[in-house]
Structure 1
Amino acid sequence: MSTYEVIPMMYNSREQINAIILLEQQCKQLDSIHLKADLDHISKKDGDHALLCYRDGNLVGLLSWYPSDGVIGNINAIVHPHERRQGVFRRLLKFATAEMKIAGIRQLSYRVPNNLPSGLGTVQSLEAVHDRSEYAMQLVNEAFSAVHSSDLTLSVAEDQDFEFMITCSAQAFGNSEEWTRNYFTETDEPSRVTYIAWKNELPVGLVRINVINETTAFIHNFCILPVYQGKRLGRTVLGALVELLMKQHYTVIRLSVVTDNDRALNLYRSVGFEVQSEYQYFSGSL
């Protein structure tokens, strides 16, 4: 009788990485959906946590998670189409939640591709509540067009910029300063770089980069102080950042945006980003 085995992923295991790539290919072939294991995130040192489920020596499931603010565990999972409804995801989730409880996680966020009914059914069976929908976008280099401004500059954030980061992000996104302070503290890691946008030597916004690998960068936490919004600064700042990243030899530049944020969506498209896929996010208790 076949048995399932759940083991932690070793970020530098070529055998496990090859098995994950094969699992992605199998899902794409059988589902006609490109399920992503976020291999860039789980195959680097100090990257996302990942658990693998094997059956008879074959990888049949994967679950990865990372804490975004020290409280929420963000979950992504892949299960082989022939192994669904066999308890693979719940086995992985059981091991993952045990890890997350030790890490102080109290809430879960599930990411599900918009066109995967089995995934949507699973999170609903867990009584998770729909939170938002997001587009995953990627820069198409041929379409990139920067808008230059002599009075606007970007600089890497320094220690003295921390309070501005909290104020700007909290005001722009509507979160409390306490939550924002904790978020920036929890995500202060070598792979993330924060840039401050300056206009006429005054700080007007910020944007963060998560360096995935030598060629891939993910843009997030892009915001302009509300008092400066509506002045076309967003496109100028974003264009300057993309130009900077391209000079740093990043060939894959990605970001995500909630689907009902037409203003941001149009901004990103105007700089040369295109929608690659859509995801649904659900919130649940640990």
Structure 2
Amino acid sequence: MDSYNNTICMKLKLDGEDNKAVRTLCAICYEKQKTYLKLELDLKKSQRKENKKDKALLEFLYYENKMLVGYLGVCNFGGDSVQISGMVHPDFRRKGIFRKLYLMAKEEWQRISKAEILALCDHTSTSGIEFINSIGGEYVSSEYKMCLTKKALDGESIHKQEIDSLIKLRLATSEDAAEIEKQTSIYFGKPLNEIEDKEAKVVNMDKEDLENSFIQQGNNFISYMALLKEEIIGKVHISIINKEGFIYGFGVLPVFRGKGYGREVLLATLDILKEKGVDNIFLEVESQNKNALGLYESCGFEEVAVMDYYVIT
């Protein structure tokens, strides 16, 4: 590795040695404070591999005497916002390191994107929240990270016991791209005109872009359409990284809610992940979404961390 004595460097991707250094720093911070860091290193790696056009994936590293003591990552996973998260070694705090990383990152993302900036911080990190407040961050929401309990993971599938289940999951194809984008917009509360604008953009995308954005990419990204008697009623995405399964983008169209279909879709998704031999299954849900929280808890998920989101003005 090159010498980075008291130097900040920006990279479009982490090499193997940098990746190891970031993970080591993350482990040190967790050991000292028991705070959760949402760095998404594996997800960003897979996204870079599959979509080389994405420029909103940046890494900022602060090395002192060849040791990584500060890190800030910038990422975008398809929404209208860019997310930032990072950390500083506990022994090197109160020296302005993270502020330097932030200012360098801010200058760069403003050059390449006008997207809204969201800063992520563990709900229990007083130093992180203090810094976000100092740069004008405004709290907008929180989300729970939930993990399927070992008992539920190892237990017999409830879904398979439901012989009369009418819900089926099928792999999405490029022809489902517009429907997936529309549903994503609905679930995240976008105005109708924004949904229509997104649909128009999807229609005009070429086939390769459609497949890279929405459809199967090995185990790193798999999309499923939820069907009720061959009618699409919802969708779900999964990924498997280092034998850990993740569920996201899950939803059922409003007209089909309140009938137990969401539970069936979730249980069918768990079956797929279990069959793929994952060691853990995770998902994230907004803290205000009481219906979803109740559903996940009833299926065996429990809270392991709370992440706060702040918009940077």
Deviations 1:100-124 (A, max 9, x none): 2343243210110001111001111
CA–CA separation in structure 1 for the residues paired with 2:71 and 2:148: 28
Q: CA deviation at 1:228?
A: 0.4
Tell me how far apart the structure 1 counterparts of residues 197 and 84 of structure 2 sit (CA, whole Å). 20
Change over 3 Å in CA distance of 1:66–1:37 after alignment to 2: closer
Partner letter of residue 303 of structure 2?
A: V
Question: 1:4 deviation in Å?
Answer: 2.4
Matched, 1:151 2:162: no
Residue 227 of structure 2 corresponds to residue 198 of structure 1: yes
Instruction: State how 1:1-286 maps to structure 2 within 5 Å.
Output: 4-8=6-10, 10-13=13-16, 15-35=17-37, 37-42=39-44, 46=48, 48-69=57-78, 71-144=80-153, 145-147=157-159, 148=162, 149-175=164-190, 176-178=194-196, 181=199, 187-188=213-214, 190=217, 191-209=220-238, 211=239, 213-285=241-313
Is contact 1:12-1:43 (8 Å) kept? no
Q: TM-score, normalised by structure 1?
A: 0.87
Task: Judge conservation of contact 2:180–2:214 (CA < 8 Å) in 1.
Answer: no
Cα gap change, 1:163 to 1:38, in 2 (>3 Å)? closer
Equivalents in 2 of 1:82, 1:101: separation in Å?
Answer: 31
Secondary structure at the counterpart of residue 26 of structure 1:
helix
Identity %: 28
Identify if the C-alpha distance between structure 1 residues 39 and 159 changes in structure 2 by more than 3 Å, giving closer, same or farther: closer
Superposed CA RMSD: 2.7
In structure 2, C-alpha distance between the alignment counterparts of 1:75 and 1:244, rounded to whole Å: 31
- TM-score, with length taken from structure 2: 0.80
Give, in whole Å, the separation in 2 of the partners of 1:266 and 1:219: 16
Are 2:145 and 2:283, in contact at CA under 8 Å, matched by a contact in 1?
yes
SS at match of 2:27: helix
Alpha-carbon distance change, 68 to 178 in structure 1, aligned in 2, over 3 angstroms = farther
Q: Which moved more, 1:193-202 or 1:173-182?
A: 173-182
2 CA distance for matches of 1:146 and 1:104?
45
Change (3 A) 1:217 1:268: same
In structure 2, do the counterparts of structure 1 residues 112 and 16 end up closer, same or farther at CA, with 3 Å as the change threshold?
Answer: same
Distance 1:217 1:43 in 2: 16
Q: CA deviation digits over 1:4-51, x for unaligned, max 9?
A: 2122455341x3233223312322333243545444335557175322
C-alpha distance 105-21 of structure 1, shift in aligned 2 (>3 A): same
Cα distance in 1 for partners of 2:179, 2:214 equals 15
Instruction: Note closer, same or farther for the CA distance 1:273–1:25 as it changes in structure 2 (3 Å cut).
Output: same
Give 3-state SS (helix, strand or coil) of 1:131's partner: strand
**Contact residue 8 and residue 62 of structure 2 kept, 8 A:** yes
CA distance in 2, matches of 1:212, 1:56: 36
| Number of residue pairs the alignment of both structures matches | 282
Structure 1 residue 139 displacement after superposition:
1.7
CA contact (8 A) 1:195 1:206 kept: yes
> Which residues of structure 1 form unaligned runs of 5+?
none
Gap change, CA 1:227 and 1:180, over 3 Å in 2: same
Note the residue ranges of structure 2 that are not aligned, 5 or more in a row.
50-56, 203-208
- Separation in structure 1 between the aligned mates of residue 189 and residue 245 of structure 2, nearest angstrom: 26
Please state whether the residue corresponding to 1:46 is helix, strand or coil: helix
Q: Which amino acid aligns with 2:107?
A: A
Distance in 1 of aligned mates of 2:150 and 2:66: 41
* Cα distance, 1:143 vs structure 2: 1.6
The more displaced of 107-116 and 34-43 is: 34-43
Q: SS of the residue aligned with 1:241?
A: helix
